[in-house]
Amino acid sequence: MEASAQSRKEQAGDFESPGPTLTFSNISYAVNLKKTFSIKKGEEKWILQNVSGIMKPGMNALLGPTGSGKTSLLDVLAHRKNPKGIKSGQVQLNGQFVDSSSHQPSAYVVQDDILMGTLSVRENLEFSANLRLSKKEYNAEERQKKVNEVIQELGLQDCASTKIGTEFLRGISGGERKRCSIGMELITSPSLLFLDEPTTGLDANTANSIMHLLYMLSRNSRTIIFSIHQPRYSIFRLFDSLTLMNKGQIIYQGPGAEALDYFTEIAPAITTYVTVDSSSDKNHLVHRYEQSRYYDKVKKELKQFYKPRNSMSKVKTKSYPTSFWNQLYIVGGRTMKNFLRNPQTSVVQVFMMIFFGILNGLIFFQIPNTMPEALQNRIGAFFFLIINQVFGNLSAVELFIKEKVLFIHENSSGYYRTSAYFLSKILIDLIPNRIIPIFGLAAISYFMIGLKEDVTSFFLFILTISLTSLAAVSLAFFVSASANTFAAANALIAIPYVLMMVFGGFLVNLNGMLNWLSWLKWISIFRYGLDALAINELKGQIFYSNLTLFYGEAYLDQQGINHSTWGFWQNEVALFCMTIVFMFLAFVQLLTVNKWK
Ligand SMILES: Nc1ncnc2c1ncn2[C@@H]1O[C@H](COP(=O)(O)OP(=O)(O)OP(=O)(O)O)[C@@H](O)[C@H]1O
């Protein structure tokens, strides 16, 4: 019954209420093919050449062979491309000019479903609603109502409380993920919805159901524009308008149903062109299109909808529906949930710290000061702890890079400010994630090794390891914010870590080091950490070696370590300053990260 009602509706092509009309004229888009390390200006590659057209209420499909420019046109229309590359052209919505700073009621669903895997479908939708619906217009109850409406409209009731899924957690199906991604955007009630290849990676049945869903949405005040690859006939017949592209140009725009007739009609001309007239520069298909009645029709419609620009539109600054503090609260809440539900970051982290604490304790177990090797063993234990804190961050880089994809998507879709994400990452993730397990590690090591029995020294020991860990993780965060791939980030982080270790004072005698390399000790997290731990432990202690007695201070003097009160605290200050500098640099990188597609 329901299916036949739907098919009647499809055939009638009726709209409960039509969405807006989008027109675009003379759009040219090029990219600069500059080589990575070259200072020369690169060659320009033209991806779209003078394309004009119209996207009317309903289903607008962008079709064409791979590399024909479908995604590029979609991105330009949705203002997702870097304006620097747009060489000419304008886009209008219902006759009004729009640019990236306009508050156009549009939304963009990316090809890869970028969702928080540890959260359920409902929690993801609530996250979108809490950030993107202003509190003034929607109170908590109304936001919940909106989430319920979207769940209902997209048929997500059965999986609403199921988690999306991660590499460790089996989650919802591919079709449900796509529906959820669409839902994240429908929360803001956009009248214009862009989708980049919504059926890619889905089986035939799921692809069909997603396209029918879009069809139903398009009948109710929404204009849907999407790129698509090789649709089946059952999907093809849902298209109200078809835009066919080839080599960055439009070769047909009109009703989907009439495309076949058009190409049958021009087929002989194509053969003639290819065999006889191939010397002409003009793309033959574009040429035929420009001579066709479809082109005339589009031109006529463009004239009707397109209003010439009489003044430059004012560039508005991006505004967010929720305040900074509210964003911080919502993003921080999600970070916390993700942290607690992610065994990779929480349970494994604590377990590893306990394991390394015990291992360190066992290796350097309770050696009294009276034994000749006591002092060297203490320094060895500190070196072990610092290596563990610094190199432990190599695995964090992979997580940071994965999260960056989510951040770029959400930030460019206007969920939150970079500063809200950054602060929530620092306060809810980096600091507790590092500091809490350190208490376990430090307590186990401290007592197993048998270090100084003094409360102040114990807390200074924890402080030093915490600051060392924070400085190292900030550097990892900065590198991850700067690199695009895990492989690049991993290589970039290993170099400073190894240099810092070599010039940390344990492996190379810093006093005998070549002068031109001596500056490296000033940026060594290892040196500051080791020096502080050594001063904290050795100062005021007496050690014995071969029946001779010597003071801890004597060893520190011999190593050139300043053991005055300031001598100790300057290491802590240096670690703290390094943390701040790396965090600041990471923030700048996140601000400038390329959010254009
Ligand atoms: N940043 C870029 N640098 C270099 N070439 C690019 C860039 N972006 C797009 N291109 C090229 O522009 C052409 C059009 O790309 P686009 O992704 O729009 O095509 P498409 O029709 O969506 O292809 P597909 O169906 O394979 O996704 C391709 O040849 C692509 O390689």
List the CATH number of the domain containing 24.
3.40.50.300
Interval between CA 247 and ligand 1 midpoint (Å)? 10
Which residue has its alpha carbon closest to ligand 1 atom 3? 31
Q: Residues in the chain, how many?
A: 597
Which atom from ligand 1 is nearest to the alpha carbon of 75? 18
- Among the candidates 272, 305, 338, a domain finishes at 305
Tell me: do 414 and 328 sit in the same domain: yes
Confidence at residue 4, expressed as pLDDT on a 0 to 100 scale: 43
The Cβ of residue 547 has, within 10 Å, a number of other Cβ atoms equal to 6
- Do 510 and 369 sit in the same domain of this protein? yes
Q: How far is the CA of 80 from the centre of ligand 1 (A)?
A: 14
CA distances from 46 to 75, 198, 443 (A): 15, 26, 62
Among 33, 45, 75, the mutation site with the greatest number of ligand 1 atoms within 8 A of its Cβ is 45
* Rg (the chain; Cα; Å): 31
For residue 168, being part of any structural domain is answered with: no
Mutating to test ligand 1, I would choose from 43, 44, 46, 47 the residue with most ligand atoms within 8 A of its C-beta, which is: 47
Question: Which residues approach ligand 1 with their CB closer than 6 A?
Answer: 31, 45, 47, 64, 66-72, 227, 229
Output the residue whose Cα is nearest ligand 1's atom 25.
Answer: 66
Looking at the domain assignment, is residue 549 inside a domain? yes
| Same domain, yes or no: 470 and 362 | yes
Domain end, chosen from 242, 273, 305, is at 305
Cα 71 to ligand 1 centre (Å): 7
Distance 49 CA to ligand 1 centre (A): 13
Nearest to 390 by CA among 488, 466, 491, 492: 466
Q: Are residues 382 and 456 in the same domain?
A: yes
Retrieve residue 516's tokens.
């031109």
End-to-end CA, the chain? 43
- Say if residue 461 is in the same domain as residue 410: yes
- Check whether residue 248 and residue 300 sit in a common domain: yes
Cα 396 to averaged position of ligand 1 atoms, centre (Å) = 32
In which region does residue 318 sit, left (phi positive, over 0), alpha (psi from -120 to 50) or beta (all else)? beta
Instruction: Return the structure tokens found at 378.
Output: 């203490």
Last residue of a domain, one of 276, 305, 334: 305
Region for 560 from its dihedrals, namely left if φ exceeds 0, alpha if ψ lies in -120 to 50, beta otherwise: left
Amino acid at 482: S
491 Cα: distance to centroid of ligand 1 (angstroms)? 29
Asked if 144 and 127 touch (Cβ cutoff 8 Å), the reply is: no
Q: Relative to the CA of 227, which ligand 1 atom is closest?
A: 22
* Whether 288 and 332 share a structural domain: no
Ligand 1 midpoint to CA 96 (Å): 28
Report how far apart, in Å, the C-alpha atoms of 450 and of each of 100, 102, 354, 359, 435 are: 62, 65, 17, 14, 22
Nearest ligand 1 atom, CA 47: 12
Q: Which atom of ligand 1 is nearest to the CA of 74?
A: 18
Return the best residue to mutate from 68, 84, 243, 247 for the ligand 1 pocket (most ligand atoms within 8 A of CB). 68
The angle subtended at Cα 533 by Cα 576 and Cα 490, nearest 5°, is 55
The boundaries of the domain holding residue 438 are: 324-592
Distance between Cα 310 and ligand 1 center (Å): 34
Ligand 1 centroid vs 314 CA: distance in angstroms? 31
The pLDDT value given to residue 9: 46
**Sequence-ordered alpha helix ranges (H) in 392-538:** 394-412, 418-424, 431-449, 455-482, 486-502, 525-538
Task: Compute, in angstroms, the gap from residue 67 CA to the centroid of ligand 1.
Answer: 5
Q: Do 57 and 21 share a structural domain? A: yes
- 73 Cα nearest atom in ligand 1: 18
pLDDT (tens, 9 = 90+) of the chain, 597 residues, equals: 344 444 444 444 566 777 788 999 889 999 888 666 566 667 888 999 889 999 999 999 999 888 889 999 999 998 888 888 888 888 888 877 766 555 557 889 998 888 999 999 999 999 999 999 988 889 999 999 999 999 998 899 999 999 999 888 889 998 999 999 999 999 988 889 999 999 988 888 889 999 999 999 998 888 999 999 888 888 998 999 999 998 899 989 998 888 888 877 776 666 665 555 554 545 677 877 888 888 888 888 887 776 666 544 444 455 788 899 999 999 999 988 888 887 766 777 788 888 988 998 888 887 777 776 778 888 888 988 899 888 887 878 888 888 898 999 898 888 999 999 999 999 988 888 778 888 888 889 998 988 888 899 999 999 999 999 999 999 999 999 998 888 888 888 988 888 888 877 666 665 665 666 667 778 889 999 999 999 999 888 888 777 778 888 888 888 888 889 999 999 999 999 999 999 999 999 999 887 676
What are 317's two structure tokens? 């600054």
Distant-in-sequence, close-in-space partners of 256: CB < 8 Å, separation ≥ 6: 61, 236, 237, 239, 240, 241, 242
Q: Which atom of ligand 1 is nearest to the CA of 72?
A: 18
Domain assignment present for 310? no
- pLDDT score, position 273: 58
The answer to whether the CB of 474 falls within 8 A of the CB of 396 is: no
User: Residue 318 domain-assigned?
Assistant: no
* Ligand 1 closest atom vs CA 68: 21
437 shares a domain with 375: yes
Question: What pLDDT does residue 313 have?
Answer: 45
CA nearest ligand 1 atom 18, residue: 69
Domain co-membership, 407 together with 464: yes
Chain position carrying tokens 């802590």? 572
Half-sphere exposure of residue 299, counting CA atoms within 13 Å on the CB side? 8
Question: 340 and 255 share a domain?
Answer: no
The rounded distance, in Å, linking the Cα atoms of 30 and 396 is 37
302-to-22, 68, 102 alpha-carbon distances in Å = 10, 23, 21
Residue 245 alpha carbon, nearest atom of ligand 1: 21
CA 398 to chain centre: 12
Domain assignment present for 436: yes
Q: Is residue 94 part of a domain?
A: yes
Number of domains in the chain: 2
Residue 319 Cα to ligand 1 midpoint, Å, equals 31
- Ligand 1 centre distance from Cα of residue 72 (Å): 7
Predicted-assembly ipTM surpassing the 0.85 threshold: yes
Contact present, 364 and 381 (Cβ < 8 Å) = yes
Cα 29 to Cα 261, 293, 419, distances in angstroms: 31, 26, 32
Atom 31 of ligand 1 has which residue's CA nearest to it? 67
Do 504 and 428 sit in the same domain of this protein? yes
Angstrom distance (rounded) from CA 230 to CA 214: 17
Backbone dihedral region of 540: left (phi > 0), alpha (psi from -120 to 50 degrees) or beta? left
Cα-to-centroid distance, 114 and ligand 1 (Å): 21
Is residue 301 within 8 Å of residue 54, measured between CB atoms? yes
Both tokens of 38, joined, read 């070259």
Cα 267 to Cα 263: distance, rounded to the nearest angstrom: 6
Nearest CA to ligand 1 atom 7: 31
Residues 441, 450: contact at Cβ < 8 Å? no
8 within a domain of the structure (yes/no): no
On whether residue 57 sits in a domain, the answer given is yes
CB 266 within 8 A of CB 254: no
Determine which residue's CA is closest to atom 6 belonging to ligand 1: 31
Give the chain's largest Cα–Cα span.
105
Cα–ligand 1 centroid distance for 286 (angstroms): 19
